[in-house]
Structures are given as C-alpha cells and as structure tokens.
Structure 1
Amino acid sequence: MRKNKTVAAWLAFLGGPLGLHRFYLHGLGDLPGWLLPIPTALGLYGIQRMQQLGQDDQLSWVLIPLLGFTIAGCALKAILYGLATPERWNALHNPSAAPDAAPGRTGWPTIFAIAAALMVGAAVLMASLAYSFQHYFEYQIEEARKISQ
C-alpha cells in the first residue's frame, strides 16, 4: 500500500500524540508509535492534577509541559512530512513507486496541514515554555524568600 504524504501530515498533526502517523507509515509494530501516548497521558494527568490540587502542585508543573512538547513535536513532524519533496517521500515510503508518483506530491490539503501545524505547534510550544518558566521562577522566588527569612 502506498503511503500518502498528505494523509501522513494530517495524521501527525491531528493524531500525532497518539502515534497515528507512526502506525500509518510503519505499521502497528512501531515502538515509537506505542510510546508516544505515554507523555500525552502524563500531560493530561498533569492537567487533571492541576484542576484538582491547584496551580501550586509541583508535579503538574513537570507533567503539563510533556503534553505541550509532544503536541509541538508532532506538529513539527507534520510540517516535515508536508515539506518533503515527492522524490524523497516516495524513496522513503513508496520505494517501488516512481520518484514523482502522486502519493508524494504536494497539494492544497498538504499546504493546509503545514499551515495548521505551524500555527498550532508554535502556539502550543510557546505556551508550554511560558508555563514551565513561569512556575520554575515562581518556585525559585519562593525558595529565596524562605532562605532570606
């Protein structure tokens, strides 16, 4: 079965944190595909902890960015899939096809996947970094206050 670049890009963008793009390209025996839901689940657990215990829960400070970084990484993968040349895509994923075969070509749906992945991935990455740094520095300030008293 030939692997379509557009389908892979959309799967990486929409279902990447669950490993759907990995299963599409490499089959159900793909270990990274099975490992991708772990940081996703941990990040969702961090969100749940923060809702229950409040923003002072330090474990949620570590877990929530895992979800954001996983989403951002999968968005980056969607961008890389979408920007691959037809020759490179078909050589990697459709070796028996002609270098310019249709599954490796870029069309408007591929471009929309790239644009969506770029917008959402960048926003999630920036939000994850801001959340992590804010809580880290708040923790540092609180510890400095404890030492100075």
Structure 2
Amino acid sequence: MRSKTIAVWLALLGGTLGLHRLYLKGLGNIPAWLHLLPTSLGVFGLERFMVLGQDDHLAWLLMPLLGLMIAQAMLHAIVYGLTPDERWAERFAQPVQASGWGAVLGVIAALLIGATVLMSSIAFGVQKLFEWELEPAPATAAVQGASRDTA
C-alpha cells in the first residue's frame, strides 16, 4: 500500500534527498539516489556562502542547485497531492482510499515553499550572473589604468 498523503509529505520534507521516490519505487530506484549529489553540492554552496560571503563565485554557482532540488521536490509533492485517488490506486494496484486533508495541506505547503524557493533561486542566480558579467577582468582593468596614465 502506497499512501498518497505519506508520499506528499515525504516529498515535502525529504524530497531533496529522494525519500518520496524511495517510498514509492523502492530502494533500487537509481534516480532517487541521484538526488543526493546536487543536494549535497547545493548545501556545500550554502555553507561557503555563509562562511565566505556573497562574493564567492563557487557559492553562487552551487546554491541555486539546492533551490532547484527543493523546487522539484515541491513539484512532486504537488503532483502527488493533486492526483485523483482513483488514478493513484490504479497506478499502485491497490484499493481506492480517500487521501483526506493531509494531502491537501501538504500541497498548500509545497506550493508556498516551492514558489518562494524557485523565485529566490532564479533571482539570486541571475543577479550574480549579471554582476559577474559586468565585473571587469583583471587584465582589462590593468590595461585601462595604463592607458589613462599615458594619456
């Protein structure tokens, strides 16, 4: 028996680690185990950001990975929660059981968290990309300084 409510809440609370996929498809599910790499890299980027500050290029490259992993987990929670009970029962060859308010509350939480994290990750990543693009290269700054001195 695969409970839709449990799947929603596993995606909500442990989806970045693939717990929802392990629950639904078993321990042999390779994509579930692949969740660990980008989540770990994103957490590493967040740690670097906390220690080294916002000017660390590796941190701002890795942190959006964590945001995207959280957003995809929330998307899974929303999809699971909005799947009709009959279709859920068909998919897992089990009798139909009503999911109740637990799944609905999980979907609401996933929508709030997912939208916030996704928009924050996109905004942070694009801001840092533009800052990096506009930052003059060291060689260019030295050449510009030398040309001002000779003029």
CA RMSD of aligned residues (A): 1.7
- 2:113: which partner in 1? 120
- 1:22: which partner in 2? 21
- 2:149: which partner in 1? none
Task: Work out whether 1:79 is the aligned partner of 2:72.
Answer: no
CA shift, 1:52, in A, is 2.4
Give the alignment's TM-score, normalised by structure 1: 0.89
CA shift, 1:126, in A, is 0.6
Whole-Å separation in 2 of the counterparts to 1:59 and 1:74: 24
- Alpha-carbon deviations, 1:26-77, whole Å to 9, x = none? 1111111111111111001001112222211111111000000000000000
Letter in 2 for 1:43: G
Task: Work out whether 1:135 is the aligned partner of 2:125.
Answer: no
Letter in 2 for 1:63: L
- Alpha-carbon deviations, 1:92-136, whole Å to 9, x = none? 12x1x24xx11xx33111110000000001000011001101101
Task: Tell which deviates more after alignment, 42-51 or 118-127.
Answer: 42-51
CA shift, 1:145, in A, is 9.8
- 2:44: which partner in 1? 45
Letter in 2 for 1:44: V
Q: How many equivalent pairs are there? A: 142
CA shift, 1:140, in A, is 1.3
- Structure 1 segments (4+ residues) deviating >4 Å: 144-148
- 1:59: which partner in 2? 58
Structure 2 gap segments, 5+ residues each: 145-151
CA shift, 1:146, in A, is 7.3
Whole-Å separation in 1 of the counterparts to 2:137 and 2:119: 27
Letter in 2 for 1:135: K
Whole-Å separation in 2 of the counterparts to 1:130 and 1:30: 33
Does structure 1 conserve the Cα–Cα contact (< 8 Å) formed by 2:3 and 2:99?
no
Structure 1 gap segments, 5+ residues each: none
Whole-Å separation in 1 of the counterparts to 2:140 and 2:36: 40
Q: Percent identity?
A: 49
- 2:5: which partner in 1? 6
- 1:109: which partner in 2? 102
Letter in 1 for 2:80: Y
